[in-house]
Amino acid sequence: MTAAITENLAPIAVTERIEAMDVLRGFALLGILLMNLEGFVGPVMASGTGLDPALTGMDRTVDLLVYVLVQGKFYTLFSLLFGMGFAVMSQRAEQAGRPFAGVYWRRGLVLLTFGVFHGVFIWAGDILVMYALCSFLLLALRPLPPRWCVWLGLAAYTVPIGLMYLMGAMGSLLGGTEGWDKFVAEAGAKMQALIESERVAYGSGTYAEATWQRLKSTVMALSNITMFGFVVICMFLLGAWFVRSGAIVRPRDFPRLYAGLRWVALPVGLVAMLGSVALAPTMDGVTFDLRTSTAFALQMLANLLMCLGYVAWMVRALDTPAWRRPLGWLAPAGRMALTNYLMQSLVCTCIFYGYGLGYFEQLPRAWQPVFGLALFGLQVLVSHLWLSRFRFGPMEWLWRSATYLKPQPLKLRAG
């Protein structure tokens, strides 16, 4: 690469940003925090499995609301936005005649480094590693026509559903046999042992003990890439379509799409999610039968439809004068999404883990959303103050500087 080409490489300027994407990132950050709090307060591997049968009263009500309205809907939204960001970078590189593949590889490798550091040294519920690994495949799919992105993405989304139905069919057919029952019992014992080791390491262990446990839990979580990697790829491709088709930049040109997402996709998704809860309110990850597989399929359908429905309502609200300004407050938090995501993990582990303030498993479920809203409100305020002086968040600056192989200007120029 010549020096002239290297000089042409640069991140997107503030004035070139798409406001709707920044607002959606801020909204996704709130949802991610509300979803992850269960895994901050208690064992990571015990979170996200549906209703906790031990909860009663308001704790159970809040657990249900978070599971139905939040769980699974916001990591898909984050994935959708990642795909949008990829398409924006790709389009602007093509328009400017700049090389793209090398920059994008470095961007993904830096994100992978952040994810490994986050998962091992801060919190084992990291999503960045999966995003980084899947992002390399996204580059190979870059030449696809926009419509193919949609169909290939939806096809990828059906893969984990098909795998779960395969496991469910095996469980229904083989349940009661010695071999299958032994397999299920061993898998359940391993999962329970992992949860208990997290409870000890995070609740009362030293930082070194917690770090060793995070390493083991992160490796275990990465085994799920064969299932949820397909979901991430789907949302990446759908996000790329939203940009390449113009749907996110010119939403008024797509009235039928957004009306369908608001009035059909979201209600159907909500009904599917309630059906999933009715079939299997708790999914322990080791019970396999057709009933559980159907509940999983309904949950997956709900995650996709409700995520897209949320996007449509947010886009609609941004086109309304009464909502545009208040929602605009989320944009700075969205511009600092990486910094805020990592900061959520750092703050929460320092508060709840034994090597911090030690409030592990002590914050009632009913109070977790209250805590989350307060922390996110503080992040929004800090993001506004930071971006009044600087062009990027701290981690965004580091990410860009490493991607473009030179320190990026950080301070805003006067005037």
Q: Report the percentage of the chain scoring pLDDT > 90.
A: 78
Helix (H, G, I), strand (E, B) or coil at 9: coil
Does the CA dihedral 390-393-395-400 come out positive or negative?
negative
Kindly give, in sequence order, each residue whose CB lies less than 8 Å from that of residue 389, ignoring residues fewer than 6 positions away. Answer: 411, 412
**Most confident segment among 172-186, 274-288, 382-396, 398-412:** 382-396
- The confidence score (pLDDT) of residue 24 equals 97
Residues 6+ apart with CB under 8 A from 219: none
> How sure is the predictor about 414, in pLDDT bands with cuts at 50, 70 and 90?
low
Mean per-residue pLDDT, 199-223: 93
Tens-place pLDDT, residues 217-247: 988 888 778 788 999 999 999 999 999 999 9
User: How far is CA 231 from its chain centroid?
Assistant: 11
Q: Of residues 11 and 151, which shows the higher confidence score?
A: 151
pLDDT higher than 50, residue 43? yes
Cα separation of the two ends of the chain: 35
User: Does the structure show a pLDDT above 70 at 12?
Assistant: no
Q: Is 213 in contact with 123 (CB distance < 8 Å)?
A: no
| Structure confidence at residue 7 (pLDDT) | 38
Please give the pLDDT value at position 16: 52
Would you state the pLDDT for residue 402?
95
CA 7 centroid distance within chain: 33
Q: Range with the lowest mean pLDDT among 90-99, 103-112, 202-211?
A: 90-99
Give the Cα separation of 415 and 409 in Å (integer).
Answer: 15
**Residue 263 DSSP label:** I
Element (H, E) at 108: helix 101-121
pLDDT tens string 354-383: 999 999 999 999 999 999 999 999 999 999
Question: Which one has a higher pLDDT value, 158 or 143?
Answer: 158
Average pLDDT, the chain: 92
Proportion of the chain above pLDDT 70, given as a percent: 96
Q: Please, are residues 288 and 237 in contact by the beta-carbon 8 Å criterion?
A: no
pLDDT at 9: 43
Q: Give the model's confidence band at 260: pLDDT under 50 very low, under 70 low, under 90 confident, else very high.
A: very high
Looking at residue 285, its pLDDT comes to 75
- Rounded Cα gap, residues 395 and 400, in angstroms: 9
Which residues have C-beta within 8 Å of that of residue 142, sequence separation ≥ 6?
A: 90
In the predicted structure, residue 111 carries a pLDDT above the cut 60: yes
Question: For residue 91, what pLDDT is reported?
Answer: 86
Confidence band for 6, pLDDT divided at 50, 70 and 90: very low
Say what the pTM is.
0.93
Output the pLDDT for position 94.
Answer: 81
**220 half-sphere exposure, CB direction, 13 A CA radius:** 19
Q: How far is CA 126 from CA 118, 136, 344, 345, in A?
A: 7, 18, 11, 9
Q: Give the pair of three-digit tokens for residue 142.
A: 């870059």
